[in-house]
Amino acid sequence: MAAAAGDRKVKVQSFVSWLPQTGGRMTPISYGKLKPDDGGGTMAWRVLRVRDFEDVKSRPVQNLPRGIAAAQKSHPAKHFTGGHLLGAAFGGPIKNPKNLTMLSANANKQLKVFEKNIISGFHHLTKAYEVLCSMGLSPDEAVLSVMIKVKTKGEWDKELPDRNISSHLTCKAQLEGQTGVLQAIKTMTTPPSDKLVAEYQGLVAQAEVLFNTAKKTVNNS
């Protein structure tokens, strides 16, 4: 993958190799409690470093969470499906019940729109990371991360068997590490060119627009 300036090439590492690395914030996925009646997870969040992002697609899951069969039978018009709280591009596991929830066809589509925005933002930040490396910053100085959180809220129907279906989801993505990166640039022995700094800042700004305009609420209607 070519850097933004010059002929230098930068390898962006896969998220599966993050454990041995040092420097920079990176967290495993944290989960909320499981919903009742095999309803799946209630929350998933993590901080994912930009250099560890890998754009992979989530595969559909059959018969998970386990309560989905009853929901599909009771409400066939909603076309309930098992949806991932954190998609595979963010390191979300495919079959972990804590990362799955019941989504209507409409909600599943809305959640994919949110993920698309965040993935696009990561692509801009990956280019920004390459620019930082071309300036001469080390990987541990060029640390940008994104906090991603998806949480189920409310009860779709307070009467059984529907209390295991959420009424909506809240979604959030937020850039982290910008202050540290700007400080690292400021203290470089050989300051980078104004052109490189402007290119970096422009890419970050584009990513933040995508994060700020991404869907915040997914209605499970």
Q: What is the mean pLDDT of residues 91-104?
A: 94
Q: What is the mean pLDDT of residues 40-52?
A: 96
Contact 210/124 with Cβ under 8 angstroms? yes
The more confidently predicted of residues 126 and 6 is: 126
Band of residue 164 on the pLDDT scale cut at 50, 70, 90: confident
What is the structure's pLDDT at 160? 59
What is the structure's pLDDT at 8? 39
What is the structure's pLDDT at 24? 55
The more confidently predicted of residues 149 and 60 is: 149
Q: What is the mean pLDDT of residues 171-197?
A: 96
Does residue 139 have a cis bond before it (omega within 30 degrees)?
no
Rounded Cα gap, residues 141 and 133, in angstroms: 9
Half-sphere exposure of 32 (CA within 13 A, CB side): 18
Contact 84/100 with Cβ under 8 angstroms? yes
* pTM (two decimals): 0.86
Band of residue 161 on the pLDDT scale cut at 50, 70, 90: low
Band of residue 90 on the pLDDT scale cut at 50, 70, 90: very high
Q: What is the mean pLDDT of residues 186-197?
A: 96
Mean pLDDT for the chain?
A: 87
User: What length does the chain have?
Assistant: 221
